[in-house]
Every structure is written in structure tokens, then in C-alpha cells.
Amino acid sequence: MRPFRVAVTFDAEHPDRPHHLVGHEHELLDTLGELDVRATFFVQGRWAEAFPDAARRIGDEGHLVGNHSHYHARMHLLTEAGLREDLRAAAGVIERHCRRDPVPWFRAPFGAGASDARVQDALQELGYTQVLWTSTGSDWDPERTAAHVEDELLASALAHGDGAILLCHTWPSHTYATLAGTIARLRSAGAQLVTVDQLDASQIPSTWGPGGD
Ligand SMILES: [Zn+2]
């Protein structure tokens, strides 16, 4: 049987939308623990500073930890020095609170600037690999219902097949409403839930195609 590996990923960050839940990350981590799922968390530095207990649990409970910047800016709008300063600041607090080195995993806020040469140079210089995603249910969109988020995420993952990388966030109420159902449906479709370091490097999208971004 062909492998069907799926990496569930979360951007752990300060929310900026109306349908968010604050301080509920422990529920998310409880659910992952109960279902025996190891996920990948891209952690915003300032979020880790604000929620150190949740950040520590992410590392302690065996999830893979990546860098999601410090200020959650669109990286290509930063100066050369600002880019590097932001990446280093995030790595410092992520290491302190998650107790994991986020290198080499990085995900750009909004996926913005992933194809920008200056951003790519800074990431390469600091040892990072950009990790974008293959599948999302747009859990950040308050106009969607939870059922719509779950169905779209599932359909996209199944259509992609082996190596699907699911983009989720730690704060939308939809994520909490759909997580257990999404995991159950993936498993019943034969998916093995993995962290992104268990995928082949060639399966990880690191830039957007023409017209993307
Ligand atoms: Zn983000």
C-alpha cells in the first residue's frame, strides 16, 4: 500500500480576527495528546512570551517546533537587518519557552514573501527551510462554518495524497470544533499523521508557484 503521510501544522500566534479564542491552547494540546497525534507548531516569538506554559507544553509533548517570526510581519517588507533580527529574536524566545531549537523549520506569516529573494537569502543564512502548506480549510475566515472548514481541509488533503501539509491555527474557534473530527476522518482514510521532518524534503513547498504570494 502506498504511504499516505499527512502533517498537521499549527501557526501558534496572536490572533487578529474576531472569532478567536484566547488562552485555549491547552485544550488543543489535550486533544492532540488524547488522540496520540504529534503535530508541527510554527511558533511566533511574541506569542511564546505571552503564553509560556502553552509554549512549553508544545516542546515537552513531542511536537515539532518551528519559527513563525517574532512580530508576525510580512517578512519581505522588513529591511535586511530587520529580517535577521526578527528571525533571531523569535528563535531566542522559542528556545527559552519551548525548549526546542526551531532551526531549520520556518513558516512565513501569511506565507508572504516566500518567493522573495531577500527573504530566501536570510533564511538560508540562518539555516532555515521554509515550510508552506498544501491544504487548508481557511480556519481563519470568520465567514465560514466549522463544517465547511473541516470538509474543505479533508477534501484538499485527500486530493493531495502523500505529503499533504495541513495549515491550521491555534486560535480560531473552528479549529477547536473540527480538530478531533478531522483527525478521525484522516485516519479512516488511511492517513499516517506525521511531523514535517518525517516527510521527504522534496514534498515540502517552500516557494509559491508563478502568480502566488
Ligand atoms: Zn501566522
pLDDT category at 78 given cuts 50, 70, 90 is very high
Does 150 or 209 have the greater pLDDT score? 150
- How far away, in angstroms, is 132 Cα from ligand 1 center? 11
Please state the domain extents for the chain.
Answer: 5-203
- How far away, in angstroms, is 1 Cα from ligand 1 center? 35
- How far away, in angstroms, is 192 Cα from ligand 1 center? 25
Stated pTM of the model: 0.96
Q: What is the DSSP letter of 204?
A: S
| Separation between Cα atoms, residue 163 and residue 20, nearest integer Å | 29
| Separation between Cα atoms, residue 64 and residue 42, nearest integer Å | 8
User: Which residue, 205, 81, 56, 43, is CA-closest to 134?
Assistant: 205
| Separation between Cα atoms, residue 90 and residue 107, nearest integer Å | 12
**Domain topology for 5-203:** TIM Barrel (3.20.20)
Does residue 51 surpass a pLDDT of 80?
yes
- Grid cell for residue 106: 520556518
Lowest mean pLDDT among 32-46, 51-65, 169-183: 169-183
- How far away, in angstroms, is 109 Cα from ligand 1 center? 4
